[in-house]
């Protein structure tokens, strides 16, 4: 059991690191795009005002401005990032939860709630992964591309599907662990500290 847990936990960590790398890249793209858009406005104002018009026009012609297709990259990348972070959140039991009444419940009832929540998460993530797979197949058949960059839409679906599949595997694993914990009375996965609000 420990070996399986280590494999799933390491895969979840790897996905979180990958999601963090993609998120960092997206943040850089957005920042560069904002700075470029602001610089472009200043350069056009300089040309209109006659302040170093040759240099300003040269910089405009060189491409100083917003990153082309930045919103398309952010759309595709954020979908992947969300699914990339879910496995680690699931395996570490780090989802935020609001405990208003559950502290008053007896321990067996709280364990039953943990099982129900884990099973529902697993079902939801498996259904999401299946729907993403169908969506990717439709986009692949249709040949749709993004408006500005022209990359195939199925690429974004494929990246999200990869993350969603790993998230579904982690969720099914956690649901099985919660069921085993309930049946045996052992604690295999500790609840994350500070996740309750």
24 CB-near residues (< 8 Å, 6+ apart): none
User: Does a structural domain hold residue 98?
Assistant: yes
Nearest Cα to Cα of residue 177 among 101, 100, 90, 96: 90
Return the pLDDT at 27. Answer: 96
User: Does a structural domain hold residue 149?
Assistant: yes
User: Does a structural domain hold residue 189?
Assistant: no
User: Does a structural domain hold residue 143?
Assistant: yes
Return the pLDDT at 96. Answer: 74
User: Does a structural domain hold residue 10?
Assistant: yes
Mean pLDDT of 184-194: 68
Residue 170, judged by CB atoms within 10 A of its CB (0-12, 13-18, 19+), counts as: buried
The pLDDT of residue 98 is above 70: yes
- Which residue range(s) make up the domain with 99? 2-184
Using 50, 70 and 90 to split pLDDT, how confident is the model at 191? low
Mean pLDDT of 54-67: 83
**Which of 20-24, 36-40, 65-69 has the highest average model confidence (pLDDT)?**
20-24
User: Does a structural domain hold residue 72?
Assistant: yes
Total residues found in the chain within this entry: 197
Distance (Å, whole) CA 129 – CA 8: 18
Return the pLDDT at 15. Answer: 96
Alpha carbon separation from 178 to 1, 29, 43, 122, 170 (Å, rounded) = 13, 40, 60, 11, 12
Whole-model pTM: value is 0.82
What does DSSP assign to residue 148?
S
Nearest Cα to Cα of residue 62 among 33, 42, 40: 40
User: Does a structural domain hold residue 195?
Assistant: no
Distance (Å, whole) CA 41 – CA 185: 65
The pLDDT of residue 84 is above 90: yes
User: Does a structural domain hold residue 192?
Assistant: no
Report how far Cα 155 is from the mean position of its chain's Cα atoms.
15
Using 50, 70 and 90 to split pLDDT, how confident is the model at 192? low
Look up tokens 């943990």; give the residue.
Answer: 114
Mean pLDDT of 157-162: 94
Report how far Cα 26 is from the mean position of its chain's Cα atoms.
12
Total number of domains in the chain: 1
Using 50, 70 and 90 to split pLDDT, how confident is the model at 126? very high
Mean pLDDT of 18-40: 94
Using 50, 70 and 90 to split pLDDT, how confident is the model at 197? very low
Residue 196: beta bridge partners? 97
Provide, rounded to the nearest whole percent, the portion of the chain with pLDDT above 90. Answer: 52
Return the pLDDT at 144. Answer: 93
Which conformational region is residue 156 in: left (phi greater than 0), alpha (psi within -120 to 50 degrees), or beta?
alpha
Using 50, 70 and 90 to split pLDDT, how confident is the model at 194? very low
């Amino acid at each position: 059991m420990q070996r399986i847990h280590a494999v799933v936990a390491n895969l979840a960590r790897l996905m979180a690191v990958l999601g963090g790398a993609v998120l960092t890249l997206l943040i850089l793209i957005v920042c560069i795009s904002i700075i470029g858009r602001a610089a472009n406005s200043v350069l056009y104002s300089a040309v209109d005002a006659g302040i170093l018009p040759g240099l300003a026009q040269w910089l405009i012609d060189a491409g100083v401005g917003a990153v082309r297709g930045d919103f398309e990259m952010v759309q595709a990348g954020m979908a992947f990032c969300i699914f990339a972070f879910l496995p680690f959140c699931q395996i570490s039991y780090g989802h935020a939860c609001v405990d208003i009444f559950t502290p008053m419940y007896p321990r067996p009832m709280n364990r039953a709630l943990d099982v129900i929540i884990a099973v529902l998460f697993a079902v939801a993530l498996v259904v999401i992964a299946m729907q993403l797979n169908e969506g990717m197949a439709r986009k692949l058949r249709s040949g749709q591309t993004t408006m500005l960059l022209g990359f195939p839409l199925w690429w974004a679906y494929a990246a999200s599907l990869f993350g969603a599949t790993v998230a579904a595997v982690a969720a099914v694993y956690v649901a099985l662990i919660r069921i085993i914990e309930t049946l045996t009375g052992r604690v295999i996965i500790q609840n994350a500290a500070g996740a309750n609000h």
